[in-house]
Amino acid sequence: MGPFLLLFVTRSERVRWMDKIPVWARVLIVTIVVVIVGWKTIANIATEYLWYQDLGYLGVFWKSMEARIAVAVTIFAVTFLFVAVNLLSMKSASRAMPRRASLILASIAGVLAAGFSTGLWMEFQQFVHATPFGKTDPIFGHDVGFYLFRYPFLREVYRGAVWVVGLSSVFVILVYLFSGSLIRFSRERVEEPPMGNRRRRPRRGRLILEQADPRAKLHIGILLAIVFCVVACGYWLAMRGLVYSDRGVGVGASYADVHGALPGMRAMFFVSVAAAVLMIISGLPHTRTRVPTVGLMASTVVAMAVLSFLAIDVYPGLVQRLYVTPNEFRAEEEYIAYNIDFTRSAFGLDRIVEQEYAVAPDLTRADIDSARVTVDSIRLWDWEPLLATYGQLQGMRLYYSFNDVDVDRYDIDGKLVQVMLAARELDAGSLPPQAQTWVNRRLKYTHGYGICVSPVNEIGPDGLPTFLLRDIPPAGPEGLELERPEIYFGELTRDWVIVNTKTEEFDHPIGDTNKSTRYAADAGVRIGHILRRAMFASKFSDVRILLSSDITSNSRVLFDREIGRRVRKIAPFLIYDSDPYIAIADGRLVWIMDGLTTSDAYPFAERYVGGINYIRNSVKVTVDAYTGQTEFYIIDHGDPVAVTYSKIFPGLFKKAEEMPQSIRAHVRYPEDLFAIQAKMYGMYHMRDPEVFYNKEDLWAIPNELYGGAEREVNPYYVRLALPGESDMSFVLFVPFTPSRKNNMVAWLAVNSDMDNFGRMVAYKFGKQRVVFGPMQIEAQIDQDAEISKMLSLWNQSGSTVIRGNLLVYPIGGGLLYVEPLFLAAHTSQLPQLKRVVLCDGTKVAIGHDLWSALSQMLSEAGEEMEGGAPDGDGPADARKVARDALDLYEQARERLRAGDLAGYDSIQREIEELLRSMADEE
């Protein structure tokens, strides 16, 4: 007889049959059933536990789980007790609501409430570990930390209380009504008086309302008192919520909110408290009203609804229409100032140092000489064409791929050099179809290999980059030594793999053969016994993990190898910059990511796209490309959000001082954060409320031509000496134009060097003269007859001209606009940097490289570039060679006018050889 036969036997037979089964067998059967049903869940939890254990972040794993369980248990207990006490208190309606049914309903309510509340674990932890900001709101005097850490949790608790208390009250009242415990009608018995010999006959009298059960009356009174207390709490929270109002000119409480809605909410708060007291009094046994609960409830609810509508909707609307609208600026000036102040604080704009920069009309050789360190580091290469070039020149094999090109700086042979670099990752999906086997994808092709590095300002033969680090195995100069070039963790490593198996891993190609390797790190989750293999087989839905004879007890599983997924799994409460970058640190490859702390609850602060109104770059994250070891560093202990997270997760974050110097040298300011701050600064550089109200000086990020299409200028990383400073800095900056205009009015820079990290400077150009913006410079370039003719001819000769980023450098007292021109043949798609276009606002020049373009630009002003460099310390015959180069340049211009591109290109190469010979002689 099987267990299913139990369905067809009587209860007594079933009991006798069950008694024959030993206790251990019953436990075994239950265990087997539970394991079969919950195996997938058990396997996922167990493997996640092992993953966190391998990384050393078990504290994070347990903290999130414990917090979820604690919140769920607490919410379940509170909901269960509230509902159960109310249902069990209905003794007069015990037939309508039996005890067992009451407990079942209370349990269901508790489970539902707990299920909906598990997502509140982080809000609860922030409530407990709140950190003050030291800045208070001007209306209620609460610290900003109250709004970021405590108000969100209180608001969610209120919403939950509304549902639980509201539904419980409705249910209890309905049960009382249907059971007759609250209201019961009967007819009055009336007897007619006798008439003569006729007997008295009773007749049907009128309906009468009998007295309600005193216990039901008291119960309803108390329950409704709780309802109105919850309503009062809602009004208290709604008053604080006015700091997020959008009724006025900007986000935050407006005049109509403070002088209209706020008094109404305060009045309704006290009315709600009074209604709660009235409900309790009306429910007391000595109250003479026959059924006060129902009538009083209805009248009170209607009265409060009317009062709320008048006090919170009608009255503030009248204030807005009758007073604010005719006198908007005068009424809103104070609140506009609050919005400006809190928005600048929330986005870190109050840290920006503003300076005037009077732009000279054109550049001279003296300006070039004074800014030699900046000119030497001018960036010529753009990441997009360079990415295609890297792929063509350094891809090596089909399965290698470059996902992105990043900008960084390295100390090479004692000199700090700005470079562009990219990681050579392995994309197993690009293996040939016949090689797409399970062994190849999971055991053999496990990692990428090495990186490519090239200077930002050097152009090699045929317009290709000059490499500082290239090929496999990579070899580079001092400062770029690489001892561990393997990339097991990266941006493209989305597959799980198993290492230390009987199958050797492919390491890198050597000519026509391949070199093999074995994973040498003590990282990854050890597979070990058969149970773990079964769990991983279940997790990845791949039974071959169980069946493969290549897997041993020493094999390790590497999963969640994509660095973005990896860090988000450990710290999902952070927002991460969209551009991770790789760096060489102590001979190893290390990924660096920027963790951003954000919030949407900063009072009086304008919201950016997506709703955030507070953001900081307080966390730097590193991921070792070989071991996957992930570290989190707090670099801004002045950020209360980051401090709060460090309290919630002790042991997760390290101090900035613990970051190795080899990594500190490569930190940079996140581009996403800077773009957000730049766009907010376009409006919130206006600190005068009246100017802000009229939007008199609104700025915008300008557009540029890139690849023939118009698009918004992206912030870009460069090394330069900022105006008024002698030391070079690695900065991220972007220009500004007036809204709906093309002339440039300012540019904003932020320092990425660790010693001055996050220092922001805005250079305002003033209104004395017009400074051309990117699109106006693009128009000047297009209007140059020689350049226009060249571009037309190139685009018609089976090639595509790619116009690179137009960069703006402060040089001397003026501005130097730099735009590289790339040429890509349709057949090869190998972009080559063919020309560099320069402009100082008045003169446009073009050359094979920066120096030839500078020579042309200065020659148009009657000046010469001696020795191909701006310092003037060349040999005695440098002037003669420069004059020869100028003569050749004039010949080249004649060839270009005649349409002889071959002759033009030949003469330009002669000029290049002359300039290089001058540089070599120095």
Q: What is the number of other CB atoms lying within 10 angstroms of the CB of residue 373? A: 13
d(C-alpha 505, C-alpha 575), whole Å = 35
Residues 6+ apart with CB under 8 A from 184: 209, 210, 212
Crossing angle between the packed helical segments 151-179 and 58-88, to the nearest 10 degrees: 30
- Rounded to 10 deg, the angle between the 785-795 and 774-783 helix axes is 80
> How many angstroms separate the CA atoms of 477 and 482, rounded?
10
Neighbours of 823 (CB within 10 A): 20
What is the CB-side half-sphere exposure of residue 746 using CA atoms within 13 A? 24
Q: How far apart are CA 739 and CA 697, in angstroms?
A: 8
Please state, for a pLDDT cut of 70, what percent of the chain lies above it: 85
> Mean pLDDT lowest for which of 344-353, 357-366, 559-568?
357-366
**Which residue's entry shows tokens 């900007």?**
250
Rg for the chain, CA atoms, rounded: 38
Q: Are 809 and 720 in contact (CB under 8 A)?
A: yes
pLDDT of residue 441: 94
Q: Side chain identity at 240, as an amino acid letter?
A: R
Least confident range of 178-192, 376-390, 541-555, 677-691 = 178-192
Number of other residues whose CB lies within 10 A of the CB of residue 475? 12
Q: Give the C-alpha separation, 530 to 703, whole Å.
A: 60
With a CB cutoff of 8 Å and minimum separation 6, the contacts of 380 are 456, 457, 458, 459, 804, 818, 820, 833, 836, 849, 850
- Mapped onto helix, strand or coil, the DSSP state of residue 430 is helix
Asked if residue 473 has a cis previous peptide bond (ω within 30° of 0), the answer is yes
Backbone phi, psi, residue 745, to 5°: -115, -20
The pLDDT value recorded for residue 282 is 79
Amino acid identity of 815? L
Rounded Cα distance between 848 and 908, Å, is 7
- Using the structure block, give the residue that is written with the tokens 């269901």: 108
The Cα 135–Cα 602 span in angstroms is 11
Q: Is pLDDT at 25 greater than 80 in this prediction? A: no
* Stronger pLDDT, 196 or 332, i.e. the higher one: 332
Residue 688 main-chain phi, psi, to 5 deg:
-80, 120
The set of residues, in sequence order, having a beta carbon less than 8 Å from that of 173 and lying 6+ positions away, is 182, 220
Q: What is the mean pLDDT of residues 183-206?
A: 56
| CA dihedral of 597, 599, 604, 610, whole degrees rounded to 10 | 110
Rounded Cα distance, 337 and 340, in Å? 5
Long-range contacts of 185-192 (CB under 8 A, 24+ apart): 185/209, 185/210, 186/210
Q: Using alpha carbons only, give the angle 136, 138, 139 rounded to the nearest 5 degrees.
A: 115
Q: What spatial distance separates the first Cα and last Cα of the chain, rounded to whole Å?
A: 101
| Cα–Cα dist 363/831, whole Å | 31
Q: What is the C-alpha separation between 715 and 732, in angstroms, rounded?
A: 6
Give the C-alpha separation, 909 to 97, whole Å.
97
Of 425, 442, 429, 449, whose CA–CA distance to 557 is shortest? 442
Return the closest-CA partner of residue 693 out of 706, 684, 702. 684
pLDDT (0 to 100) of residue 128: 95
Task: With CA atoms as reference, report the closest residue to 59 among 694, 645, 681, 862.
Answer: 645
Of 94-108, 142-156, 744-758, the one with minimum mean pLDDT is 94-108
DSSP letter, residue 146: I
Indicate the pTM of the whole model. Answer: 0.87
Q: Which parts of 471-618 fold into alpha helices (H)?
A: 530-539, 544-547, 563-570
Under the banding of pLDDT at 50, 70 and 90, the label for residue 109 is very high
Q: What integer is the mean pLDDT of 567-595?
A: 96
C-beta of residue 747 within 8 angstroms of C-beta of residue 735: yes
Cβ atoms of residues 750 and 669 within 8 Å? yes
Contact of 237 with 151, CB cutoff 8 Å: yes
What is the DSSP track for 232-280? HHHHHHHHHGGGG--SSSSSS--HHIIIIIHHHHHHHHHHHHHHHHHHH
446 confidence band (pLDDT: 50, 70, 90): very high
Residues 6+ positions from 812 with CB-CB distance below 8 Å: 360, 363, 364, 366, 367, 368, 370, 371
φ, ψ for residue 799, nearest 5 deg: -135, 170
77-91, 210-224, 353-367, 844-858: least confident range: 210-224
Distances from the Cα of 145 to the Cα of 498, 601, 647, angstroms: 46, 9, 14
Cβ atoms of 621 and 646 within 8 Å: the answer is no
Question: pLDDT value at position 890?
Answer: 64
**pLDDT over 60 at 557, yes or no:** yes
902: Cβ–Cβ under 8 A, 6 or more apart, which residues?
Answer: none
Q: CB-based contacts of 350: which residues, under 8 Å, 6+ apart?
A: 344
Do the Cβ atoms of 743 and 377 come closer than 8 Å? no
Cα–chain-centroid distance for residue 804?
28
pLDDT of residue 1: 38
Q: Is pLDDT above 70 for 886?
A: no
Tokens in use for 872? 């003037």
Q: Is residue 793 over pLDDT 70?
A: yes
Residue 96 predicted with pLDDT over 90: no
Which residues have C-beta within 8 Å of that of residue 354, sequence separation ≥ 6?
Answer: 685, 761, 762, 764
pLDDT in the model for residue 795: 80
- Cβ distance 80 to 107 under 8 Å? yes
Residue that has been written with the tokens 């400006």 in this structure: 340
